[in-house]
Chains A and B, each alone.
Chain A
């Protein structure tokens, strides 16, 4: 094939690979799975396991043998720079204070699966290997492949489930970091053993490897620490400095490859040696990651996919071997980690969660498997089985973790001691920093008791990083400031506020979980129009209203005066109206405001029972009217929403319960406009209660007839 054709084909191939990788990655993210699993699956689907099977002509045209060497080189650069990033992520600070526990758990979690892998080799050697592979190499490789943990994938899961703040999350991350270093050293040893022609060569390799590690620690590391100082002084990472780093990565990789312990070990070591203080590593990661992870790594997955032939598993006995491999890998990693964690004092739930997390293998497994296949230690069938094992163990992590460590339990663990104090707190989720102060004012006014206790919650979306992120801020910096104005305002007002910032992919469900965990009976939140809906009470607001065990008050700020002096309460007698009445009563008592209860009834057909109930509700909530400014207005109308809009003029705040009569019900895809929510001239507080009482009859539709004003209560 002429070179220009190779370039064209390679360009098309890469475009297809990146597109497929992104699409599958996003799809898997939607399924609460790590994105990287989607990318790995995309690679496999592009290979003989699917594309080559259903459309062999297309596969042959897209990936002809002439292009494969170029694809291989690109994929190897991808994994090289990825391993450099993994090394960059490795932070010695993780070990401080937890070093020994982590080393014990981590090493046991390597030793046990390694041993079980070697034991399994006895069974598989005569079935899936040949006499060209010595048993020692085969068993060492199988053991090493069983004992790997995917540190980057694990870190992503911990971040996305907000587990980093828990004991189990912190211990797991430390264990994974230790595991990472140990596993790559083990791999270097295994590769050296497999490559060595004899004992003499193995000893030479080991000696050179030790010399290399010593040089990295005592010569390269001090030299690299100057990079950090250089960055701090100039305040930016120049392209010259990036070029020097790249040259060093490639040199280190070349040296380890020459030694005989594989190039990826050199790239990893150089990353690990980089100075972790200051912003140098963060900026370097940002510069390298997008190209390495978005462009090069999918090529690695595709190349792996081209080598993975699931079709080779064409008989029940082979599927049985595959199940056995998955079982042994899980037993070794999960069992070893969990038992070790139990002995170091973690609870059974924490130990089980740690075991599940450590069983995540992800793309790190693919790296070791590709090396094994390149060296000829593992056969194509065993390679396919091990790839399936890597996918299964990674895919099962999130659901297994959710079963062992439900999100509700996790949120409950984040409960602070003050939550046990008397009085129920109010939860204020804040999406936009600017809305914080107004939400705080209304929440403090609606809280029970004289000293309101408020939890201000900000849910940040996880960083859009493909695989890494453990060392990065758990919450993007811009999100950390989201509660800033609210907290400043709280300090000025003397209101006690407990800030909670969590990473979340499902804000609606997480707000409900936090409210439950904090023992909240009221959530006060703002609103924002969902992207694909006309409904103001859609999206997250809708999810919270539907899912929360607490009452929900949505505040729509129209810049009306605060504290409100004139409050309008449209009332038809539903449970939500009743809850709105209770909240309005709190505002009235706190601010001595005047409340007008607007009771809308059907024209010409007075409803004495309804009116009577409105009266009794009023008396119940206002036994001693604050300031004596509470009155009931009865209006006859068949268009209650329009009536409310007309009456609301001249009021500071309108408080009303959700309900069809006000055209206010939370909808996922509301197409009709919520007239009151969007056109009300005063600020608005829309209330939905979880109380499941039988609602009173609703006002029927008809044109507005007349208005009647009853005497003050």
Chain B
């Protein structure tokens, strides 16, 4: 048996053992919860003359969540298809994106959220300080649509 063959066999054993070790450690890790897909929205409160999102039809509001682990892209079904980048840390959402509503043009839209079991509570505001009472806020409650497809371009 040549040196290279021995090296090869040794490496094979080492890698197998190593991979098993990695697998075991990996199985103890807790990745972010899977929230990708279509979520139906219901506005529970809104307090503004200039709306934060302009939905066409009441009752058909939704948000598409594209997830890459902690990193989320939320696309609302409003007339402007508003998109916000967000992060998911410990079931808490934080994100932002440009507001596309005409009356708030140039303003930035901030998002906070919380995952409660199967529902998602989202708060949108123009102020970075969420506690600020001066800034109008839109509170949305999202529930996941059962048939939502997490990979829009993927095979059915």
The residue of chain A having its C-beta at the shortest distance from the C-beta of B149 within the complex is A376
Tell me which of A111, A143, A340, A373 has the highest count of chain B C-beta atoms within 10 A of its own C-beta: A111
A369 within 8 A of partner (CB): no
Interface residues of B in 12-26 (CB under 8 A from A): 12, 15, 18-19, 22-23, 25-26
Q: Is the CB of A379 within 8 A of B31?
A: no
Binary A-proximity of B74-102 (CB < 8 A = 1, otherwise 0): 00000000000100000000000000000
Chain B's interface: helix, strand, loop or mixed, by majority?
mixed
A376 close to B151 (CB less than 8 A): yes
The reply to whether A135 and B26 contact each other, CB–CB distance below 8 Å, is yes
Question: Are A118 and B3 in contact, CB atoms less than 8 angstroms apart?
Answer: no
**A77 interface hit (Cβ, 8 Å):** no
Across the two chains, which residue of chain B brings its CB closest to A127? B69
B155 touches A381 (CB 8 A): no
Distance to closest chain B CB from A34 (angstroms): 26
Task: Check B22–A118 contact: CB distance below 8 A.
Answer: yes
Query: Does A130 lie within 8 Å of B67, measured CB to CB?
Result: yes
Inside 8 A of A340's CB, which chain B residues have their CB? Answer: 4, 7-8
**In A136-150, which residues have CB < 8 Å from any B CB?**
136, 138-139, 143
B26 touches A139 (CB 8 A): yes
Please tell me the number of chain B residues within 8 Å of chain A, measured between CB atoms: 38
Instruction: Produce 1/0 per residue, B117-156, CB < 8 A to A.
Output: 0000000000000000000000000000000001111110
Check if B70 is an interface residue, CB within 8 A of chain A.
yes
Q: How far is the CA of A344 from the CA of B6 in the complex (A)?
A: 12
Q: Which of B4, B30, B35 contacts A104 (CB 8 A)?
A: B4
Chain B residues, CB < 8 A from A231: none
B36 contacts across to A, CB distance below 8 A: 130, 132
User: Whose C-beta in chain A lies nearest to the C-beta of B18?
Assistant: A115
Cβ contacts under 8 Å, B11 to chain A: 108, 111-112
Which of these, A114, A128, A373, A376, contacts B71 with CB under 8 Å?
Answer: A128
CB of A119 within 8 Å of the partner chain: yes
**When the two chains form the complex, which single residue of A115, A312, A376 contacts B19, counting CB atoms closer than 8 Å?**
A115
Q: Quick one: which of A380-410 are within 8 Å of B by CB?
A: 380-382
Q: Is the CB of B153 within 8 A of A118?
A: no
Which of B2, B18, B33, B68 is A379 in contact with, Cβ under 8 Å?
B68
User: With A111-B12, A343-B7 in contact, do A126 and B30 touch (Cβ < 8 Å)?
Assistant: yes
Asked if A590 is at the interface of the complex by the 8 Å CB criterion, the answer is no
Q: Closest B-chain residue to A114, C-beta based?
A: B15
Residues of A contacting B35 in the complex (Cβ-Cβ under 8 angstroms): 130
Residues of B within 8 A of A381 (CB): 68-69, 71
Q: Please measure, in the bound complex, the distance between the C-alpha atom of A34 and the C-alpha atom of B84, giving whole angstroms.
A: 37
Q: Report chain B residues within 8 Å CB of A374.
A: 151, 154-155
**Is B34's CB under 8 angstroms from A132's CB?**
yes
A312 to B12, CA, bound (A): 37
Q: For A306, what are the chain B residues with a Cβ–Cβ distance below 8 Å?
A: 153
Closest to B150 in A: A376
Residues of chain A within 8 A of B25, CB atoms compared: 122
Residues of A within 8 A of B26 (CB): 121-122, 125, 135-136, 138-139
Report chain B residues within 8 Å CB of A108: 7-8, 11
Contact B34 A119 (CB under 8 A): no
Contact (A130, B32) CB under 8 Å given A121-B26, A136-B26, A139-B22 = yes
Question: A68: which B residues are within 8 A, CB to CB?
Answer: 153
State the Cβ distance, B95 to closest chain A Cβ, in Å.
11
Please state if A135 and B19 are interface contacts (CB–CB under 8 Å): no
- Within 8 Å by CB of B4, from A101, A114, A121, A128, lies A101
Chain B residues, Cβ within 8 Å of A344? 4
Please tell me if B48 contacts chain A, counting CB pairs below 8 Å. Answer: no
Q: Are B69 and A373 in contact (CB under 8 A)?
A: no
- CB neighbours of A133 from chain B (8 A): 31, 34
Among A119, A303, A343, A379, contact of B67 (Cβ-Cβ < 8 Å): A379
Which residues on the B side are within 8 Å of A111 (C-beta)?
11-12, 15
The reply to whether B33 and A130 form a contact with Cβ atoms under 8 Å apart is yes
Contact between A135 and B27, CB atoms less than 8 A apart: yes
B91 to chain A, nearest CB (A): 12
* A130–B22 CB distance below 8 A: no
B111 within 8 A of A: no
A307 close to B (CB within 8 Å): yes
Q: A119-B22, A122-B26, A139-B26 are in contact. Are A318 and B32 (CB under 8 A)?
A: no
The smallest beta-carbon distance between B9 and chain A, in angstroms, is 10
- Tell me, in angstroms, the Cα distance from A119 to B5 when the chains sit together: 25
B5 adjacent to A104 (CB under 8 Å): yes
Query: Does A100 contact B5, Cβ atoms closer than 8 Å?
Result: yes
> B23 contacts which chain A residues (CB < 8 A)?
118, 135-136, 139
Chain A residues in 8 Å Cβ range of B4 = 100-101, 104, 340, 343-344
**A100→B9 CA distance, assembly (Å):** 13
Q: Which residue of B lies closest to A103 (CB)?
A: B8
Q: Is the CB of A373 within 8 A of B151?
A: yes
Q: What is the CB-to-nearest-CB distance from B11 to chain A, in angstroms, rounded to a whole number?
A: 6
- Give residues of chain B (54-77) contacting chain A, Cβ–Cβ below 8 Å: 66-71, 73
Q: Which residue of B lies closest to A132 (CB)?
A: B34
Q: Is A418 part of the binding interface, using a Cβ–Cβ cutoff of 8 Å?
A: no
A542 within 8 A of partner (CB): no
Q: Which A residues are in CB contact (< 8 Å) with B31?
A: 125-126, 129-131, 133, 135
Give CA–CA (A77, B9) in the complex, Å: 39
Inside 8 A of A65's CB, which chain B residues have their CB?
152
Complex Cα gap A470–B150 (Å): 40
Q: Which residues of B contact A100 (CB under 8 A)?
A: 2, 4-5
User: Is there a chain B Cβ closer than 8 Å to A72's Cβ?
Assistant: yes
Min CB–CB distance A103 → chain B (angstroms): 8
Q: Is A136 a contact of B150 with CB atoms below 8 Å?
A: no
Q: Would B29 and A380 count as touching, CB distance under 8 A? A: no
C-alpha spacing A107/B68, complex, angstroms: 31
- Closest residue of B by beta carbon distance from A65: B152
| Bound Cα distance from A138 to B153, whole angstroms | 20
A307→B153 contact, CB < 8 A = yes
Hey, which chain B residues are within 8 Å of A416, CB to CB?
Answer: none
**Out of A107, A122, A132, which one reaches B22, CB within 8 Å?**
A122
CA distance A126 to B23 in the complex (A): 14
Give bound CA distance, A340 to B35, whole Å. 44
- Give the distance in Å from the alpha carbon of A131 to the alpha carbon of B35 in the complex: 9
User: What 1/0 flags go to A299-327 for Cβ under 8 Å of B?
Assistant: 00001001100001010001000000000
Cβ contacts under 8 Å, B85 to chain A: 314
Q: Closest residue of chain A to B2, judged by CB?
A: A100
Compute how far the CA of A129 lies from the CA of B150 in the bound complex, rounded to whole angstroms.
13
Distance between A310 CB and nearest chain B CB, rounded to angstroms: 13
Q: Which residues of chain A are within 8 angstroms of B22 by Cβ–Cβ distance? A: 118-119, 121-122, 139
In the complex the two chains form, what is the Cα distance from A135 to B29 in whole Å?
Answer: 8
Is there an interface contact between B68 and A118, defined as CB atoms closer than 8 Å? no
The 5 closest A-B pairs by CB, nearest first: A381-B68, A379-B68, A132-B34, A135-B26, A128-B69
- Which A residues are within 8 Å of any B CB, using their own CB? 65, 68, 72, 100-101, 104, 107-108, 111-112, 114-115, 118-119, 121-122, 124-133, 135-136, 138-139, 143, 303, 306-307, 312, 314, 318, 340, 343-344, 373-374, 376, 379-382
Given A115-B18, A130-B36, A139-B26: 11 more A-B contacts, CB < 8 Å: A100-B4, A100-B5, A125-B69, A128-B70, A130-B33, A130-B67, A131-B31, A131-B32, A139-B23, A376-B154, A379-B67
CB pairs A–B below 8 angstroms (5 shown): A126-B31, A126-B69, A131-B30, A133-B34, A343-B4
